[in-house]
Structure formats: C-alpha cells, structure tokens
Amino acid sequence: MPDTATHRIFNFSAGPCTLPLPVLERARDELVDYGGTGMSLIEMSHRSMPVVSVFDEAEALMREALSVPASHHILFIAGGATFQFAMTAVNLLHGGKTADFTHSGAWAKKAIADARKVGRVNLVFDGTDANYTTLPDPAGVACSDDAVYLHLTSNETIGGVQWKAFPRVGRPIVADMSSDILSRPLPFEQFGLIYAGAQKNIGPAGVAVVILREDVLAQCPGDLPGYLNYAGHVEGQSMLNTPPVFQVYMIKLVLEWLKEQGGVAWAQEAAARRSEAVYDAIARHADFYRCPVDERCRSSMNVVFRLPDEDLEARFIREAEAAGMSGLKGHRSVGGCRASLYNAMPLEGAEALASFMDRFATTHG
C-alpha cells in the first residue's frame, strides 16, 4: 500500500459511526486555515459571515434533502437526543399534559421516563413482553382522547426494529429519528416535531437536528429558562447561544456528500441493498444465524443477529475485527451481534460482512 493511501476499516459501530471519507478528508484539509482566512472556522466568531453561511447552507441542504415544508423550522441544538427527551417534555407536556407513547425498546424507554417527570404518559403500544422484537401495525394505533401528541422512535438501534410507515392519528407525531433520519423520505404532514442526534446519518456527536412545526412551536410555554425554550432557538436561528460550529460544519459537508450520491432516494435504495446483503446471509445459514426481529419491521440501519452460542459470538466478533470489520458486538444490554449500516457505510462493507458470515458459518456450523 502506498504511503499516501488512507488506512481504512469497515466500521459497523451503532453511533458514533462511520462518516464519509471525503467529508473527513475535506475537514482535515480545511481545519487549520479556512478558505484562506488565516484562521480555523472553529476560531471564528459565530456571528461572522463564514460561520453564518455554514449554518444557512446546512439548514438549506437539510430542507432540500428531506423536502421539509415551510411549515417546519429546522434547528441545530447542542446536546443530542437525550437532551431532546427532556426538552420535548418540558415544552410540550408542561402543566401536566398527556401524551401517548409507543414503547418500542431502549430508546423509547428513555423518552418515556423523561415525559413522566413532566406530564402524563399513556402507552398505546408496549413491546416489553415481546422483548422489543416487533412494532404495531401503524393502521391499528389509536390515540387517547387527551393526548396532545403521539411519540414514537422510528428506529431502535439496540433492538433493530424500525417503523416502515407511520400512524395517522389526527394529532402530531413527535419522533426520535436519531438512527434513521436521512435514510428515506418522510411524510411531514404527520409530524409535529422530529429530533435526531447527529451521530448516525448526519454528522459527529454533540448536536441534535430538530424539525418543528409552527403550530407545535406555538404550544410551547414562554416562561422556560432560555436554552430550554424552542422559541428562543427558532428566533436565534440556531444561534441563541454560541453553537457547536464544528458539528454544523460537518453536517453541511455530510449533506453535500449525500446530495452528490443522489440524496435521500439514493440513501433509501442503498440502505435496502446493504441490509438485504446481511439479512440474506442470515437466511442462507438459518441453522447458524438467527435474527430475532419480526420480519415486518426489521431495521435497514441496525441488523441484529445471534449465533448458536456466546462463545461463537465472541469468536465471530474477534475474527471479524481481525479481518478489518469493527463494531459488530451487540449492545451490552442484549448481547449478540449487530451490524450498523448507516448512510456512510459503503455497499462493499455490507458485502464483505456477508461473505465473512458465509465463511464463518461454513467453518463453524
């Protein structure tokens, strides 16, 4: 290998996760002297033209990528989805209001716990007894009379379940889309508020994208401390305070890269091909690999699977690592294996994993 080639492995981590190599290379090249200004972008005032331009472009590219209608604001807010669990609760459930939640797994559980500290929660679906391996038929989800919104987690990274369509319930859906945003088109008329930690399909960790409809914004109380108030972030155009400039810059680069690939239509097709490569390998060796997830709602982002025993799982993960494929260990709370296949994972990565799975099953099956 020549000295100039970048050493690069296939990184199947659930997030933070692989980023597009051209994005990392451009960030590297621009890091010390941004556009001949004699300083780094991260050294500039956030009120300076170069930084304001980056924010404007990131927002415009996000709006274009997902065809976000003018009814919805797009915000970048430091703190990730975990902060949004708190922020949605204090903005939307203040005064003890009620919301309906779908309990689909580990991430829904966290959103529910925070909502219960502020308002009232009805569970309209509870996947606990099924060990979070399935989701309800969207057509069968009915809301409580007093629910001001329906919350769902569009994709559960730990359980590997994904909503393939969304309920129509006559009130806004509030959705945690951290792990599958930008992987498919979205019916925005159904959504009042979407939030997503950046560190899967959007950019580096440390920021969330929030897409918020005007009428939902109007329900938020005015007397919250400043940073907790969505209205302040809208008014400040994601610069209510000094924002995480590096992350928003990286988001802009990722969205430019996504556009070059063919946008969300490309991402949806690519996600299907990557995940099918791995699900097909599981199916080819059904006596060896097992995916516990209901076929109707298997995630195109996080493919979870088990091997016949934990020793084989440990060996599989170890030998895959040695073969240049990292991050295949399942979440510590559930064990097993997991291949996270976000937008920046090349198809070659999924195919290499599928071939490795073939060989491993043949050797050890």
User: Which residues are part of the catalytic machinery?
Assistant: 107, 176, 200
- Kindly list the distances between the CA atom of residue 269 and the CA atoms of 211, 257, 312, in Å, as whole numbers in the listed order: 24, 16, 32
Give CA torsion, residues 150, 154, 156, 159, to 10 deg: 90
Closest CB 265 distance from its own copies, rounded Å:
25
Note the residues at the interface with its own copies (CB under 8 A).
Answer: 6-9, 11, 13-19, 21, 24-25, 27-28, 31-33, 36-40, 42-46, 48, 78-83, 85-86, 89-90, 110, 113-114, 117-118, 197, 199, 204-207, 223-228, 240-247, 324, 326-327
Please, what is the minimum distance in Å from the beta carbon of residue 226 to its own copies?
A: 6
Least spacing, CB of residue 307 vs its own copies, in Å: 21
- Nearest distance, CB of residue 301 and its own copies, angstroms: 15
**How many Å is the Cα radius of gyration of the chain?**
21
| Integer angstrom CA distances of residue 204 from 37, 171, 249, 256, 331 | 24, 32, 10, 15, 20
Q: Are 15 and 200 in contact (CB under 8 A)?
A: yes
Q: Which is nearer to its own copies, 79 or 346 (CB)?
A: 79
Q: Which phi and psi angles does 101 have, rounded to 5°? A: -125, 150
**CB-nearer residue toward its own copies: 52 or 364:** 52
Are the C-beta atoms of 281 and 77 separated by less than 8 Å? no
Burial 6-40 (b: 16+ CB within 10 A, else e): eeeebbbbbbbbbbbeebbeebeeeeeebeeeeee
